[in-house]
Structure 1
Amino acid sequence: MTERDARQPIMRALDPADLGAAQALSAALSWPHRLEDWNFALSLGEGVALESGRRLVGTAMSWAFGPGWGTLGMVIVAPEMQGRGLGGRLMETMLSRLGTRGVQLHATKAGEPLYRKLGFAPVATIRQHQGAAYCVGFHAPRTGERLRPAGRADLAVLTALDAAATGMARGPLLEALIGEAEGIVLDRDGVASGFAMLRRFGRGKVIGPVVAPDPEAARLLVAHWLGQRQGEFLRIDVTEDSALSAWLEEAGLPAVDDATRMVRGQPPAPAAVRSFALVSQAFG
């Protein structure tokens, strides 16, 4: 073993006891994740840790959403450990956990070259909006539409709508969200046709996921939360083609960053509903 090999960090399973140190790693990168956000992510997936001198210096996590697809995220290497190929080690380990599934992730500009080498291709731009929302005006439902609260009895239909929009079987994620988030459902002629959730995350609250049949319906769902939470710090991550960005800017949520959605595998085919806003960049 060379001296360089001897200095390589040890890779092991990411444990709940590591999450305080993991949160410190993410905070050093100006990521907003609280300890509670790390716990939520790990409770739904699995992760690996890099340890050097009994200190956490790297993380990565994956989530398997049914047999066809999974997502990757929370990939961090401490600045002083970069340039040693550790990001590639983390990624290859998590990809092996997902097996033959198609994989989706959201890349920073710094991470995109590595992901391309691993077979990922860019498919969309994600625009992060955040700020203190103010009044967006009244958004009236169209004829036959109404908004109503979402509850546990809606889990099956929300899971079906989410699967149609994302191509992923995210039932456990939706169940966990219903347990800690507020939700609304868009009914059209008595049929659930979209939904949006709001939960505590990072510096304030995040709106997402937002699933809807068209941009006007998505604006109706998002406007509900903007109106309910005027003056509060809110975040929403929308697809560039959502037709929501300019409207969000006017509502007081400027675009502050972009990420690139990348996939390894064939992206899911479009369905009758679309995903307009993410749960998070880790979950998709």
Structure 2
Amino acid sequence: MKALISIIIIIGLVSSIHAKTNNISKKIDIEYVRYDYLGSYKAIISKPKGNKKFPIIIYSYDEFYDWAGKDLANRRGYNLEYIAAYFAQRGYVCIIPIERYRKVKAIIGVSNYIKNKPYVNPNSIHLIGMSEGAFLNIIAAETIDNFASMTLIGGIEINDKGHLSNSIFKYKKALNPNLPIYFMLIHDVSWRIKHQKKLYTKLQTFYKNITYKRLFKEKRWFWDIDRYGKDINLFILKQYNQTHETRQNTYKPPQYQPSF
């Protein structure tokens, strides 16, 4: 009986995810593009409706997506096309490097690719990253000074082998110590809390403008952008409006119902 109930719940969840994705995809154009930067990469890109130059979001996903693959990630509720469309509905060009694994070059390359498009504001590129994706964004931000803000969701260093592992990797001096950072600490399991706090402590030695928020949710909760995306949007708008005229999104989405 319990197994049957679990199956029904899973089927219902998958159906809900597909319904949301199909609904939003009818209103927002989703493209898959290729770009080159010391190698060839792929990305998902979504664009708002309108003819103005839009701010940009570069989203770096949770490492779960790479090892699970698109189909399983979608079934679990981690749909990158939906995330891209979500931000496009709020007035951003959103681009997501895919099949990225741990290649920081994919993030640096996509920032160079997108900033030259006629429909974007190259001075308003915002990084959003989750887990290891957040860490890769940190490395990108200390490699090129292209970014207007950075949101880190459950950011952790790479606890593995290789030149990016926490036993080998050495941080550089921040290119922009005043870069606005939104650090969202996921307060779920003890080991993840520990690693996030360790990363946060290190960031405080390089950056002066960090907004910290602790959320008592498990990491999978954050795969659904409906649950907290509005907070990231408000953070980005706050940074923009402090130094520019108030920006209004040019595309108004239909009546929005959060998923929780």
Give me the TM-score of the superposition, normalised by structure 2.
0.30
Give me the TM-score of the superposition, normalised by structure 1.
0.28
> Relative contact order, CA 8 A, sep 6+: which one is greater?
1
Name the structure where helix makes up a greater proportion of residues.
2
State the structure with more CA Rg.
Answer: 1
Name the structure where strand makes up a greater proportion of residues.
1
